[in-house]
């Protein structure tokens, strides 16, 4: 297929682009590189450095079979502090994308959604039928876009898939996490192990879990990328298919730290801080629908995620100028999963 990847200079978009090219698809990337990196765009993909509001200009060239939409603001804390920015970028930006998709009669859309739409769940593992009660602006904007896409499918016959990520980690095919503001557990803990950060803060060790720390569901970014390729042909015209993407089994913060120490051979310095408001004790995905509708099951375990992320981080550090370790405490994962662009 000829595909337009919105946000293809970011973490997940750059990995998916590499897999699309490996699978023989033609790829055009549209990204303003405000949070992504131009050098992360895969060789063989054309980069159009523009805002997603210009999606229609690219689609007007003709011949496109699908749009994959990763472009969004995705920092939970920032979304609470600057809600207007998130509603404008994530919702109004996607409205412009959907208008362009309709105008140019693009038959398929794959959207990067999030487990943050569920908020504090009533049941674990979390099915796609669970109540959606986001606890932050980021999750609320993603839920609004999911609803908007569903309406578009009904009205225009668009075939769309929303993939609700849990916690994404690892690196693949030379691409990995490179956030200017990092909020995810594994890269922060790896930086602490490497001495690039002073310590890792664990937000509460008195949760109702076996070791007292929160449990989250992690999925390797390469497995996630494969789900996007499968999603290109999963939905029927007029259908909005929603699938959770996770490993189906959770790991506690302490388990992740232990894995990192085993992989790196280094100690992760930690401190225990108070719980944060809105953090649930356990977030784990039900993968039944992704298995049934996409034919997708994750293949890589936590150790593989950590090892690949560590190798990528070390390669990046080796090629970067030396810097002093960060003095501010790092953070444990927020309730939202990784959805970096």
Catalytic residues: 138
Give, for 241, the enclosing helix (H) or strand (E): strand 240-245
Q: Are strands 26-30 and 200-203 parallel, antiparallel or unpaired?
A: unpaired
Say how far apart CA 116 and CA 170 lie, in whole Å: 20
Say how far apart CA 167 and CA 113 lie, in whole Å: 12
Say how far apart CA 303 and CA 240 lie, in whole Å: 34
Using a 10 angstrom Cβ sphere, with 0-12 exposed, 13-18 middle and 19 or more buried, the burial of residue 274 is exposed
DSSP-H helix ranges across the chain: 11-22, 55-59, 76-81, 83-86, 93-103, 137-156, 185-194, 221-231, 253-264, 288-289, 302-318
| Whole-number Cα distances in Å, 210 to 213, 250, 251 | 8, 12, 11
């Amino acid at each position: 297929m000829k595909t337009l990847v919105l946000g293809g200079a970011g973490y997940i978009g750059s990995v998916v682009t590499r897999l699309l090219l490996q699978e023989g698809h033609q790829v055009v990337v549209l990204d303003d590189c405000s949070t992504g990196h131009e050098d992360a765009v895969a060789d063989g993909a054309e980069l159009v450095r523009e805002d997603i509001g210009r999606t229609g200009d690219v689609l007007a060239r003709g011949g496109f079979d699908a749009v994959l939409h990763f472009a969004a603001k995705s920092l939970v804390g920032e979304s609470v502090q600057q809600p207007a920015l998130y509603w404008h970028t994530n919702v109004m930006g996607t409205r412009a994308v959907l208008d362009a998709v309709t105008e140019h009669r693009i038959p398929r859309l794959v959207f990067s959604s999030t487990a943050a739409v569920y908020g504090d769940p009533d049941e674990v593992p979390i099915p796609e039928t669970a109540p959606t009660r986001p606890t932050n602006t980021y999750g609320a904007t993603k839920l609004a876009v999911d609803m908007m896409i569903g309406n578009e499918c009904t009205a225009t016959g668009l075939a769309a898939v929303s993939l609700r990520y849990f916690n994404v980690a690892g690196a693949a095919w030379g691409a990995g996490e490179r956030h200017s503001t990092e909020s995810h557990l594994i890269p922060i803990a790896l930086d602490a192990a490497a001495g690039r950060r002073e310590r890792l803060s664990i937000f509460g060790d008195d949760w109702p879990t076996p070791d007292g720390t929160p449990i989250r569901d992690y999925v390797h970014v390469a497995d996630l990328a494969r789900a996007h390729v499968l999603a290109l042909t999963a939905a029927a015209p007029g259908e909005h298919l929603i699938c959770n993407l996770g490993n189906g089994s959770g790991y506690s913060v302490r388990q992740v730290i232990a894995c990192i120490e085993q992989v790196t051979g280094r100690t992760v310095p930690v401190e225990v801080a108070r719980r944060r408001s809105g953090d649930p004790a356990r977030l784990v995905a039900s993968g039944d629908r992704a298995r049934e509708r996409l034919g997708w099951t994750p293949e890589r375990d936590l150790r593989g995620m950590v090892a690949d992320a560590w190798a990528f981080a070390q390669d990046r550090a080796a090629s970067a100028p030396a810097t002093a370790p960060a003095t501010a405490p790092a953070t444990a994962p927020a309730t939202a999963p990784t959805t970096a662009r």
